[in-house]
Amino acid sequence: MAENGEKAPLINKKFDDSDEELTGCGATACCDPRKGVHRYFVLGLICFLSFGSYYCYDNPAALEENIKLDMKVSTQKYVLLYSLYSYPNVVLCFFGGFLLDRVFGVRVGTIIFSLFVLSGQIVFALGAYIHSFTVMEVGRFIFGLGGENLAVAQNTYSVNWFKGKELNMVFGLQLSFSRVGSTINMNVNNPIYKSFSNHIHSSESYKALGMTLFVGAGVCMFSLACGLALGFLDKRAARILKKEDSQTGEVIRLSDVKDFSLNLWLIFIICVAYYVAIFPFIALGLAFFQAKFDLRPAQAAAVNSVVFIISACASPFLGFMVDKVGKNIFWVILSVAVTLGCHCMMAFTFWNPFVAMSILGVSYSMLACALWPLVALVVPEHQLGTAYGFMQSIQNLGLAVISQVAGTIVDQKGYLILEVFFCAWLCIALIASVLLYLVDASRGTGLNLSTLERNKLAAQNRVTLISSEDEDLGKRDYNVSPITPRSAAQLRLRFLSRVGQQYFQLPETYRASALAYPHVLK
């Protein structure tokens, strides 16, 4: 009976089965968790839950020159503010789901991780205000303890409230809000800093920096308030609807690493080699655009934020295209090659950087849509947790180390050598992409098939499995074929939301949408 219950699509379940009668204000559409109006209010809280984290993550990039001048630090020391965020997540990305499932629970865990983000930003701002860069470094480390895991909690809430309904739209809105937070940070912090510095003596300009960063702490406090309200409403809805507490469903087995195929290791190499040429570049981009292209701070901030804006706007359409066309490895190779061209354009020409950054935003979004779904094809279902945990771990390690190396290069060699350094990493990513294509072609693993070819093979596979009269036939999920790589939306639903299939069931009519896809921009 339990098995049949699990197989029933949740979209057909009615919340009206609840036994609890609501009266007074609680019975209105705004307060009744069975009504759409209430769920959309909760959606607003979910979207703003990580808004503060994304706003503050790139505070250093928006204030790079101010930090280096006011705190009297080199670029090498400055980039430590990013490395110290990434280092704890080399380990924590394996255990975020476990902490939410087994230790804290999603409601308490959300508050704890929000408090880490808030306290980290407060310490970061305090360090600037008292002119102590060491305290600022401690603050960024504390901030990193909460940032990544807060995103896991956010995804868990989304699936708990919108599974079987508007889940793809919800993940798309989450992505857009995160990018809006990053974009606002890039464009408002310099004006805020100037406003504060007008009232402070030039010899104490670091206080203006601290006050600007305290504004970020205020944004984090707003996100914490959203987390508190969300926890209250979620607990109330669980009581009214008689639902079980949501869990991430994450399964991590480090012993699975030894079974990873060559295809998966090549995907790991592409991931690390590509993203170390994106995130550290954005962290150093403000000063680069000012130094080379003689842009004013406001103009440089606008150019530096173009990648975030395009990522939010173009990703749904690019993901839809990849889902319909297939040929994932082709899009990966194209994205890496175009990104390499953009870096070369900024390194060796004086063309308007807005053009290169706009193209970079499109290619970055394309790679995210094409690369991450490949992981689910090359590893079995039970190893997805380990594969993604390991991928995020080495990505954070790469970002931490390369950020420090990039800072050293800027101090000692300048921005031209830095761009050559990033181009070298993109060449590694391009070589790994071509090798992935060759290995896939030689082994016939189907990573670069078109969607039409995959559908035909999936249909043939279903017929073969049905005719075999396997006694386990009824327990298998044919909505996801072994030969068909999961789309961006399916991956986001199935793993990156950290909620396994055992916790929710997709309706038979479900079709993947590109609004929800595995995205790793912080």
For residue 100, count other CB atoms closer than 10 A to its CB: 26
What is the model's pLDDT at position 432?
96
Six-digit token string for 417: 């050598």
Which residues of 183-243 form beta strands (DSSP E)? none
| Helices then strands, each counted (H, E), the chain | 22, 0
CATH 1.20.1250.20 segments of the chain? 33-242, 260-457
Chain centroid, CA 485 distance in Å: 20
Q: 383 near 255, Cβ under 8 Å?
A: no
Q: ∠ CA 373-247-43 to the nearest 5 degrees?
A: 80
Question: In angstroms, rounded to a whole number, what is the distance separating the alpha carbons of residues 60 and 64?
Answer: 5
133 Ramachandran zone, left/alpha/beta (phi>0; psi -120 to 50): alpha
What pLDDT is stored for residue 244 in this prediction? Answer: 62
CB 433, CB 269: distance < 8 Å: no
CA gyration radius for the chain? 23
CB distance 271 to 395 below 8 Å: yes
CA gap 309, 367 in Å, rounded: 16
Nearest to 508, CA basis, from 482, 479, 487, 488: 479
If you ran DSSP here, which 8-state letter would residue 498 be given?
-
Amino acid at 413: K
Contact 48, 177 (CB under 8 A): yes
User: Hunting for tokens 């510095």 — which residue is that?
Assistant: 197
Location of structure tokens 């079995």:
380
Q: What is the pLDDT along the chain (522 residues), one digit of tens a residue?
A: 444 444 444 444 444 444 455 555 555 656 667 676 788 888 888 888 988 998 999 899 999 999 999 999 999 999 999 999 999 888 887 776 667 767 778 888 889 999 999 999 999 999 999 999 999 999 999 999 888 888 778 877 877 787 656 555 566 667 777 778 888 998 899 999 999 999 888 888 899 999 999 999 999 999 999 999 999 888 888 887 776 655 555 565 667 777 788 999 999 999 999 999 999 999 899 899 999 999 998 899 899 989 888 887 887 788 778 878 888 899 999 999 999 999 999 999 999 999 999 999 999 988 888 887 788 778 876 676 677 778 878 888 999 999 999 999 999 999 999 999 999 999 999 999 999 999 999 988 888 888 788 778 777 777 665 655 455 545 444 444 444 555 554 544 444 444 433 333 333 333 333 333 333 444
Q: What whole-number distance in Å separates Cα of residue 94 and Cα of residue 75?
A: 31
Q: In the CATH hierarchy, which fold is given to the domain comprising 260-457?
A: Growth Hormone; Chain: A; (1.20.1250)
State pTM to two decimals: 0.74
Report how far Cα 307 is from the mean position of its chain's Cα atoms: 14
**Structure tokens that stand for 465 in this block:** 């499995």
- Percent helix, strand, coil in the chain (nearest 5)? 75, 0, 25
Q: What residue has token string 């507490």?
A: 245
- How far apart (Å, rounded) are the C-alpha atoms in residues 38 and 233? 10
Cβ-Cβ contacts under 8 Å for 232 (sequence gap 6 or more) = none
pLDDT of residue 254: 66
Q: C-alpha 343: how far from its chain's center?
A: 23
Phi first, then psi, for residue 326 (nearest 5°) are 85, -145
β-bridge partners, 450: 326
Rounded to an integer, what distance in angstroms lies between the CA atom of residue 20 and that of residue 181? 39
Whole-angstrom distance, CA of residue 159 vs CA of residue 52: 21
Contacts of 267 (CB under 8 A, 6+ apart): 371, 374, 375, 378, 391, 436
The CATH number corresponding to 33-242 among 1.10.3300.10, 2.160.10.10, 3.40.50.150, 1.20.1250.20 equals 1.20.1250.20
The CA distance from 68 to 398, in Å, is 24
Token pair 């699990």 is found at: 6
Which residues are bridge partners to 521 per DSSP?
Answer: none
What integer pLDDT is reported at residue 273 of this predicted model? 96
